[in-house]
A and B are shown apart, each in its own frame.
Chain A
Amino acid sequence: MNTTSPLERVLRGIAITLVILFFMFPIFWIVLMSFQTNATILQVPPSIFFEPTLQNYRGLITGQLVTDTSSLEIKFMGNLFNSLFLSTTSVAVGLVLGVPAAYAFARLKFRGSEDIAFTLLSFRFAPPLLVLLPLTIYFQQLGLANTYGGLIWVYQLIVLPLILWIVRGYFEDIPADIEYAYRIAGHRWWTTFRKIALPLAGPGIAAAALLAFIFAWNNFIFALVLASADKQPVTVGALAFITASGVQYGQIAAGIILSIAPTFALALYAQRYLVEGLSLGAVKG
């Protein structure tokens, strides 16, 4: 029985539209800004009718920002590469460390296993600022400041707990009997892990990896403090557009569009995995 009246449906449509407008408008506006010059962006009142220009994107890609008053060098493409490199490597390292650990936490009940797992999760509770000052000091003393290695290490704070807890839920979902059956058939536990546990937890591992990638990509504060210009990812690199001669709104907008594009594409592609992976992890805990 369909109880929704036409009026109800119309009202619901309007409500949904309002919500979408509210959340999507900033993104829509950013897209518009990225095709405008600073002059048209700053005109009052703003107008959605303008002469579109690709100069912002051209400037970012060539690395030469030419304005009316000056010429500025921008390392945006370098930043984009840094983001890609840092996020990918962090997730790769996180998977190598986190997936076997998740398996151990799921399957082996050793003394203190719950406590260790929880401690790892608790890294996500504390605000990053809490650990930044001591981190900065000992990174400088260890010579890790402003190195890819150091950043990837710190990124594990973001990536590892996430992978560990999501993947652990997936491993716990695999009936232990299936693995026992493979062992009894004559296979070593390592073979069993590779041939049975890993493929069966595949969707969960993919979801965790995607999510971890997005979290790493969006990180700002660690990179801001621990990396200098040549190692900075896009999130920090965008600050360079705030120059002495003014804020380059057009470039910032174009930069944002370029930097959200990869995660946006990833998220769209893997939407189903993400929702599945996260809800499963949440229920199973």
Chain B
Amino acid sequence: MTLALENIVKAFKKDVVLDGVSLSVDSGETLVLFGPSGAGKTVLLRLIAGVIEPDEGTITIQGRDMDGVEPEDRGIGMAFQNFALFPHMDATQNIAAPLTARNMSKSAITETVNRIARMLKIEHVLHHKPKELSNGQKQRTALARALAGEPDILLLDDPLRNVDAKLRFEMRLELPRLLKDQNATVIYVTQDYKEAMALGDRIAVMNAHGIEQTGTPSEIYLAPANIEIARLFGDPVINLLDVIPEQTEGGMRITLSGVPVPIDGGYGEVAGRACIVGIRPEALRFVAEGTADAIPLTIETETPLNEKTVTLGLTKNGREIMVSRPAGTPGPAEGTGFIAIDATHVHLFDRATGNRIVPTERHTARSQGAA
């Protein structure tokens, strides 16, 4: 294990930002810290970097306790969200900063800077000062600076936040390869769930209370720990409807718009309890009128988004439902449509606590297989 945080507590004045956070990251792994702003992601990175000290708890890097270890001695590279380039130095000097701290020859430094600049496609702006760089170039320079020292641990604080959409898309494709080449342990902070899914070997979802769930991207997506996480991952957002599951002769089922929908038998224990069902828009599909157990829907709007089309409809009870289908596939007729639910892709949440209800063992084989 490269990095371990144990029971970290950090407060600023009386404002407790991190309350007992524990986290471990394996060597070579990319862990994404995902969460809304104010969740303490940046504070966590700064604690690891050593620019602020935790009030309680221990941070160990490569098995060594980091208490009292200065930032320069931690073997860390960091890219800041606001880039934090040195305004009085040109891009070359910025990137060379981790190298000049060591006893490296001038030629070796130049060589390394040029190699990294080539990799990040900024070799043509190396003699520019930060204020002469575009946002994208600044971001790459900041990234190059973090990579230059070939650190064991790379902390990336939302590096794509301040760049335009096109570049963000490009970098989202490029970064995983880049990070793998570095062979470093990476902690990547982001507020964008797509970035988190694209880059993370694992994702740690944070909110104001600390880390809510840690898991691989598919675990987070397919088995979100609570409603909040289910809502954060996925675009369009998951459909959430109030239901009360019932035990019938035909097995467990929920009723939507008067139509019974069978669900996993493993949910048996929650029969009669107030629940919320979460249905991903892509787990719904349009079917022909008259199909058995089809739910009627009044079609409100259709939004074509390059690779998919999102339909907003209203149920009989006036609740909004989003349906997503691959672009080019046939949609509903004007006015009214009928949908069927892929029952293996529904989640049940306890309405009181918001936590996901995990179906019991004996019936989970089917839903596991779907995952």
What is A's interface to B at a CB cutoff of 8 Å? 175-178, 180-189, 191, 196, 199-200
Chain A, residue nearest B72 (CB): A186
A residues less than 8 Å from B97 (CB atoms) = 181-182, 185-187
Main secondary structure of the interface of A (DSSP, over half): helix
Within the complex, the shortest CB–CB distance from B274 to chain A, in Å, comes to 47
A186-B72, A189-B70, A200-B88 given; 4 more Cβ-contact pairs under 8 Å:
A181-B86, A182-B97, A184-B49, A187-B97
- The 8 Å CB contact of A181, one of B50, B74, B84, B88, is B84
Contact B87 A181 (CB under 8 A): no
Contact A178 B51 (CB under 8 A): no
Asked, given contacts A178-B84, A178-B87, whether A183 binds B51 with beta carbons under 8 Å apart, the answer is yes
- Residue B313 at the A interface, CB < 8 A? no
Assembly CA distance A200 to B87 (angstroms): 8
Asked, given contacts A186-B98, A187-B97, A187-B101, whether A180 binds B49 with beta carbons under 8 Å apart, the answer is yes
Contact A185 B87 (CB under 8 A): no
Assembly CA distance A199 to B78 (angstroms): 23
- The 8 Å CB contact of B101, one of A175, A176, A177, A186, is A186
Contact B80 A196 (CB under 8 A): no
Contact B70 A183 (CB under 8 A): yes
**Residues of B84-102 whose CB lies within 8 A of A:** 84-88, 97-98, 100-102
Asked, given contacts A186-B149, A199-B88, A200-B87, whether A181 binds B101 with beta carbons under 8 Å apart, the answer is no
B residues less than 8 Å from A184 (CB atoms) = 49-51, 71-72, 74, 76-78
B residues less than 8 Å from A178 (CB atoms) = 84-87
How many A-B contacts at CB < 8 Å in the complex?
64
- Residue B110 at the A interface, CB < 8 A? no
What is B's interface to A at a CB cutoff of 8 Å? 46, 49-51, 70-72, 74, 76-78, 80, 82, 84-88, 97-98, 100-102, 145, 149
Assembly CA distance A185 to B77 (angstroms): 7
Chain A, residue nearest B102 (CB): A186
Within the complex, the shortest CB–CB distance from A114 to chain B, in Å, comes to 15
B residues less than 8 Å from A199 (CB atoms) = 88
Contact B72 A187 (CB under 8 A): yes
- The 8 Å CB contact of B71, one of A175, A183, A191, A200, is A183
Assembly CA distance A187 to B102 (angstroms): 9
Chain B, residue nearest A175 (CB): B84
Assembly CA distance A199 to B88 (angstroms): 8
Contact B145 A181 (CB under 8 A): yes
Contact A182 B86 (CB under 8 A): yes
- The 8 Å CB contact of B72, one of A176, A183, A196, is A183
Within the complex, the shortest CB–CB distance from A96 to chain B, in Å, comes to 22
A residues less than 8 Å from B51 (CB atoms) = 176, 180, 183-184
Contact A185 B149 (CB under 8 A): yes
Asked, given contacts A183-B70, A185-B98, A187-B101, whether A177 binds B82 with beta carbons under 8 Å apart, the answer is yes
Assembly CA distance A185 to B72 (angstroms): 6
Assembly CA distance A46 to B97 (angstroms): 69
Within the complex, the shortest CB–CB distance from B158 to chain A, in Å, comes to 13
Listed by A's residue number, 14 A-B pairs whose Cβ atoms lie within 8 Å are A175-B84, A177-B80, A178-B85, A178-B87, A180-B78, A180-B84, A184-B49, A184-B77, A184-B78, A185-B72, A185-B97, A185-B101, A187-B97, A187-B101
Within the complex, the shortest CB–CB distance from A22 to chain B, in Å, comes to 43
Chain B, residue nearest A174 (CB): B87
Considering the complex of A and B, which 7 residue pairs feature the smallest CB-CB distances, nearest first? A186-B101, A177-B84, A185-B97, A185-B98, A181-B84, A183-B71, A180-B51
Within the complex, the shortest CB–CB distance from A182 to chain B, in Å, comes to 6
Assembly CA distance A80 to B74 (angstroms): 55
In this complex, the member of A180, A181, A189 whose beta carbon has the largest number of chain B beta carbons within 10 angstroms is A181
Chain B, residue nearest A196 (CB): B86
In this complex, the member of A185, A186, A191 whose beta carbon has the largest number of chain B beta carbons within 10 angstroms is A185
A residues less than 8 Å from B76 (CB atoms) = 184
Chain A, residue nearest B78 (CB): A184
A residues less than 8 Å from B70 (CB atoms) = 183, 188-189
Chain A, residue nearest B101 (CB): A186
Contact B72 A188 (CB under 8 A): yes
